[in-house]
Structure 1
């Protein structure tokens, strides 16, 4: 056994019982809701074993562990039915260099992760709120709201196409080296469609589309995206550990103990509490496609909100009608182009992914929805089981190329509790 694997296992399998105990003893009352009654311990252990297994190389990821640490949380009928955490929130320094044990930081149930593209779900909710308020028309051309959104057929792109990833816009935008925020925003708006793309005809995953959607939210609300998030979503729901640029609102103690590291070998050095995505970083850490940080418990609230038709604990965020439209496949019959996942289908709602076995495993189905994030995060909601499953990992720590996060997502989905909790 290599020294590296032995160190990983020292934080994993060798201390599984202690980690499980820590999950319970370290848990604090949060927006995740009540803990389950008898029978939860077995589900905790099953989830813990699955998380723990990926702290070492596996046949799916033979070269390296899948992550340095992870947190998973499963809720059924609004009750927590399984939860576990393993490993380290911080294990490497810039280089990457393995840190001494004394400088490493244990993962906590309330550790705060860079959600990466799960941010898109939050941006979609904020946009759909404005549809409810009559300020945005899903079928209207984007250029009607944002005059700078022009060029090679883009006048045909509607708001709904941004949400469904059928706009024809590319994955990313080129904003590095631009002098200021105004120039970066203008460049994003002017990003041309993929060559030969016809809006509304093909699913192509596009972060640019959600960047543009965020500009639209800002335009109609008159608020910067971080303020719109707080006023429209996290504030009403009481989510105190969710937002952009967490170093601006976390205490020094929480920054040291709760922030989860991502890359440790980037040109920016160790990333911890600053967004991993380069484009979002150039945009000040506030963007529609990436940049939100949160905990497993608070991500679960977003899943529960959508599962319950746009309302949570008596607070209505979205109308039932718009929530239903959000979770309905709007791309039926369309082809999908995704070089990274050639088996991916176009199934997608207005801001959420639908029916994708590559990360949903056996929980995949026509009504199952969620989203993934590049940093190793995922949200999965199974309406028929009334289940919300959150998996947050730091697979990009110290190097995102070390492991493919999808096998872990599938394994955790397949290990989720199957027994229904009575209402």
Structure 2
């Protein structure tokens, strides 16, 4: 595990650095085998586009990255929406083969709940909800796409935020509860994930994201810390099926452990073993399966996980009973294409350590 920790700690020191700060937490069975933080949760006050560099805060205002730092999870939020959906399926309130237009009549026939969860609905990757502040105008965008999807349903994989936003609408209609309540009551509350929830949050202890301005961003919001980074999730009120959750590596470790335990953690059970298998067996419901670009050598025998645009990632591997959480603020002070090579390298180091440990 020393190589894993050493490699992660070096990430903020690169030229260029992959991220200002990073947290890693890895576990096998009931044991946390590696946990470390490096760099800075908040270092910049703004981004200078002419000089192409961050403008630093006064040195005494830099906030050190800690293992308990709270991160904007970005698309890792999708995993919670998927779990909430599978909970309703397990209870018999929702069926994977259900037609979406039974709940959302604007949808074209032939799109199922399963296709939303497996990104095979044909819906476009995203829509400019951020350009509209009125809920009715935002929904009109979705209804137009849903009536005539960009792709043909069930013919190919097309990753789309709209799938999980649509699933959120179904869950809220089905239960009469907002998504944030469903996530708290069904997942984070029972598991004791007290540091996990939707924003806004007070900035201290939260990793900063971006000096969000056009033309590189889709909205002019300035330096963001404690509010959701994703412009569409922000426009939708901060609680969205595809983004909006904040959490810590320690809380995510609890979720990983519960899933690896067949849905239980301590005295709490959020899913049955069969429901967990539905989530994690190929092709996965909400979870990506065996994706080497961020799973490295953990991929290959059913590893499941996801990444988030802000620099977050999670991998769990039932074959070796291991998990890896890597959280970084790669978009601080502005979004860049940092790639997933550091994620894959960390996962490979964990995979090789597990092999050596037998």
- Tell me, yes or no, whether TM beats 0.5: yes
1:368 to 299, 303, 306: 303
Deviation at 1:178, TM superposition (A): 2.5
For structure 2, the 5+ residue unaligned runs are: 48-53, 214-219
On the 8 A contact 1:376/1:405 being kept in 2, the answer is no
Deviation at 1:191, TM superposition (A): 2.1
1:302 paired residue number: 255
2:55 paired residue number: 97
1:114 paired residue number: 72
2:7 to 45, 50, 70: 50
1:183 paired residue number: 137
On the 8 A contact 1:174/1:188 being kept in 2, the answer is no
Q: Secondary structure at the match of 1:190?
A: helix
Deviation at 1:311, TM superposition (A): 1.6
Greater strand content = 2
Q: CA–CA distance in 2 between the matches of 1:325 and 1:286?
A: 25
2:344 paired residue number: 410
Q: Does 1:358 pair with 2:311?
A: no
1:319 to 250, 272, 283: 272
Deviation at 1:399, TM superposition (A): 1.5
Superposition RMSD in Å: 1.8
Q: Does 1:165 pair with 2:119?
A: yes
Q: CA–CA distance in 2 between the matches of 1:52 and 1:83?
A: 11
**Larger Rg computed on CA atoms:** 1
1:29 paired residue number: none
Deviation at 1:179, TM superposition (A): 4.3
1:134 paired residue number: 92
Q: Secondary structure at the match of 1:385?
A: coil
Q: Does 1:280 pair with 2:233?
A: yes
**Under a length normalisation based on structure 2, what TM-score does the superposition of the two structures give?**
0.91
1:291 paired residue number: 244
Deviation at 1:314, TM superposition (A): 2.6
For structure 1, the 5+ residue unaligned runs are: 1-42, 59-63, 330-347
On the 8 A contact 1:48/1:86 being kept in 2, the answer is no
Q: CA–CA distance in 1 between the matches of 2:71 and 2:133?
A: 30
**Under a length normalisation based on structure 1, what TM-score does the superposition of the two structures give?**
0.78
1:261 paired residue number: 208
2:157 to 164, 188, 203: 203
On the 8 A contact 2:302/2:318 being kept in 1, the answer is yes
